[in-house]
Structure 1
């Protein structure tokens, strides 16, 4: 009998969402076999909620990883952690005897899978950031890092137990397949659950945030850190003509580290008061996320040297909102080639300012049809089906 084990020691951000999509699909479609979910104990309330909202299904089991195991696994160096993660997975495989184990975060397991003990079952993984094919930053260290990543992946792909690699960056799929055609390398949709949002919900949020009438809202949503390009965007806002500044609302929404929040608040205080800046520094979940995108006029993905896809693109597509994106990597290529908005050098406040001036004076062209297609392709159902249909061994 098919017995699939989902394994993840991380539960924040996309990790809980990805697990939820797979569990929900299993509960709704009830395929043959058994699903064992091995994750942090803090995931249990989400698991119970999914169970309660679905028909009674006895083929899904939740197994909490103790906090002590999590702390022991996550401590120390990245190299050591890879082996600790792998060994912990093998312990659970010995205990529950799955026919197939899915590494929900393949990236961290690579050294353990390559050089550690052999798995007792078939292995597949979700590959988050295959960045070895991107142009490296200047310097010897960066080039050596790319060579190291390539060599590690070559070694991993030779392991006979590795069956499928689900790749969140489609631009890497062909290159990985060429490394070892035996492994089934599959482009994976970046899943987002969609909601139907009412005009009343949008206006309620607009009122709660005190957004001034007539302002064009630029939304930067997600986990707010140094990689999201907040500082160059703030500098670009400060370079704009006051008449343009008075038409803009910059909406920042998402969790943020306290030290970085203090830094960003200091940067915000230096921006002209003609620009309205609204900060919601907290984690926003579920249906509420989509209300923010419905409220916005443009979504920002001016990330710094971002690798792969970003769920913000999908959320913007669901709401039919154009993107202002970095021109770097797969994300920049997708926005440009599919006409999802406009791209620019996200490290340059000057080029960002020029793009903002264009948006506020002439507007930008984009394809509503392609936004809709992107949203449909990257549904939570498509994500789960793509994975579970392959885990048959």
Structure 2
């Protein structure tokens, strides 16, 4: 089959969530019939870090392209300068789109490209982008610094929606989408589900607990993901250390994921203190976990901890917890707090109230009552399936 029309997808970052977002998009594209081809532009390190993604998506209607080593080095050197990085990425996209005679450009991470959208020359074709962290609603603005930041982002976002070059802005925050559509009367912004591919767990809960060494009667609290200072691990350790030994003996803290070196050192200090205070069981599995194996850790747990510090945006942890029908414990801040409350996904902690986490933790251990609405959890998990995310984007071209 011959494909005449080309859509250029640009993803310069090979770390974190970026490869997963790209992979889900390409797999859905291959499973459906679209009358265009995809040219996927990445940096050279993507080929080194994610050969399986390249292999699994090799097809006549997907062309993988790499920037040059010189361009890649320029990009790495510009990462600390948002304006310089944005200008470079915009220029790269425009050049490749021209050479490919692309009909559309999709920029997989648009947050830092908004200023470039206003100031740089328009490419030969329309562009779309994914906006991960708008702060229009649900983020308190208190200090002068926060107010300046809010209005800078507010005015910039409003301005780019009037740019003819911008076709569609995909946004993971449904409340921000509602705000823009109602208050700015713009139809360029579309809600985008957060793509999570949940693979079924093949082992029994009893067997998983045996392999991990979890005592059957314990309540399991899970911290999952890249373990850095954003995860709130210190807060969890300090709070668990305050439990009486009578309650602590019934608790297991399961920490899964690769460590940030500095956070690991701090954790070890906190662990030594915790072990002196009570008998909370702490189990770590500190390595990268393949997608196919992730869900077993959620299903073996009773509560999912997502105590991110002042977190902006979504988290796949929310979707995985909902899919496993396990209550999320998170702060009443930002998008995560708003969705958790509205969708009844779990328990909210108020940072403004001293020892609120400790009091609610003790209440959980004293009660067997159900936390969260399981029907709503399922609906939320179903909404955020990877295929729904991919369909929203691909159907828009």
Normalising by structure 1, what TM-score? 0.92
Q: Which secondary structure does the structure 1 equivalent of 2:355 belong to? A: helix
**1:184 alignment partner in structure 2:** 188
Q: Kindly state the Cα deviation for residue 136 of structure 1 after the two structures are TM-superposed.
A: 4.5
**1:51 alignment partner in structure 2:** 57
* Contact 2:132–2:172 under 8 Å retained in 1: yes
Relative to structure 1, the CA distance from residue 265 to residue 350 in structure 2 (aligned partners, 3 Å threshold; closer, same or farther) is: same
Select 1:246's aligned residue among 242, 245, 249. 249
Gaps of 5+ in 2: none
* Contact 2:104–2:127 under 8 Å retained in 1: yes
* Contact 1:166–1:188 under 8 Å retained in 2: yes
Check if 1:88 corresponds to 2:92.
Answer: yes
Aligned length: 386
CA-to-aligned-CA distance 1:17-40 (integer Å, 9 cap, x gap)? 110011101111131111111123
CA-to-aligned-CA distance 1:229-248 (integer Å, 9 cap, x gap)? 21111111111121111111
Task: Map 1:274-353; keep pairs closer than 5 Å.
Answer: 274-346=279-351, 350-353=355-358
Q: In 2, distance between residues paired with 1:340 and 1:135?
A: 19
**1:72 alignment partner in structure 2:** 74
**2:37 alignment partner in structure 1:** 34
* Contact 1:136–1:146 under 8 Å retained in 2: no
**1:21 alignment partner in structure 2:** 24
Task: Map 1:18-167; keep pairs closer than 5 Å.
Answer: 18-44=21-47, 45-51=51-57, 57-76=59-78, 77-136=81-140, 138-167=142-171
Check if 1:193 corresponds to 2:175.
Answer: no
Q: In 2, distance between residues paired with 1:218 and 1:348?
A: 22
Q: In 2, distance between residues paired with 1:337 and 1:51?
A: 37
Relative to structure 1, the CA distance from residue 2 to residue 184 in structure 2 (aligned partners, 3 Å threshold; closer, same or farther) is: farther
Q: In 2, distance between residues paired with 1:58 and 1:216?
A: 50
Q: In 2, distance between residues paired with 1:318 and 1:67?
A: 41
Check if 1:2 corresponds to 2:8.
Answer: no
Q: In 1, distance between residues paired with 2:365 and 2:65?
A: 52
CA RMSD of aligned residues (A): 2.0
CA-to-aligned-CA distance 1:2-28 (integer Å, 9 cap, x gap)? 321111111222111110011101111
Q: In 1, distance between residues paired with 2:16 and 2:358?
A: 30
Check if 1:232 corresponds to 2:235.
Answer: yes
Gaps of 5+ in 1: none
* Contact 1:235–1:349 under 8 Å retained in 2: no
Q: In 1, distance between residues paired with 2:33 and 2:310?
A: 41
Q: Which secondary structure does the structure 1 equivalent of 2:295 belong to? A: helix
* Contact 1:309–1:331 under 8 Å retained in 2: yes
Q: In 1, distance between residues paired with 2:375 and 2:239?
A: 30
Q: Kindly state the Cα deviation for residue 204 of structure 1 after the two structures are TM-superposed.
A: 4.8
Select 1:377's aligned residue among 373, 383, 386. 383
Q: Which secondary structure does the structure 1 equivalent of 2:200 belong to? A: coil
Select 2:359's aligned residue among 354, 362, 370. 354
**1:258 alignment partner in structure 2:** 261
Q: In 2, distance between residues paired with 1:36 and 1:347?
A: 48
Q: Kindly state the Cα deviation for residue 47 of structure 1 after the two structures are TM-superposed.
A: 2.9
Relative to structure 1, the CA distance from residue 183 to residue 68 in structure 2 (aligned partners, 3 Å threshold; closer, same or farther) is: farther
CA-to-aligned-CA distance 1:292-333 (integer Å, 9 cap, x gap)? 111111111222222222111111111111111211122112
Q: Kindly state the Cα deviation for residue 221 of structure 1 after the two structures are TM-superposed.
A: 0.9
**2:172 alignment partner in structure 1:** 168
* Contact 2:258–2:286 under 8 Å retained in 1: yes
* Contact 2:138–2:338 under 8 Å retained in 1: no
Q: In 2, distance between residues paired with 1:303 and 1:7?
A: 29
Q: Which moved more, 1:149-158 or 1:162-171?
A: 149-158
Relative to structure 1, the CA distance from residue 242 to residue 355 in structure 2 (aligned partners, 3 Å threshold; closer, same or farther) is: same
Q: Which secondary structure does the structure 2 equivalent of 1:75 belong to? A: helix
Relative to structure 1, the CA distance from residue 280 to residue 263 in structure 2 (aligned partners, 3 Å threshold; closer, same or farther) is: same
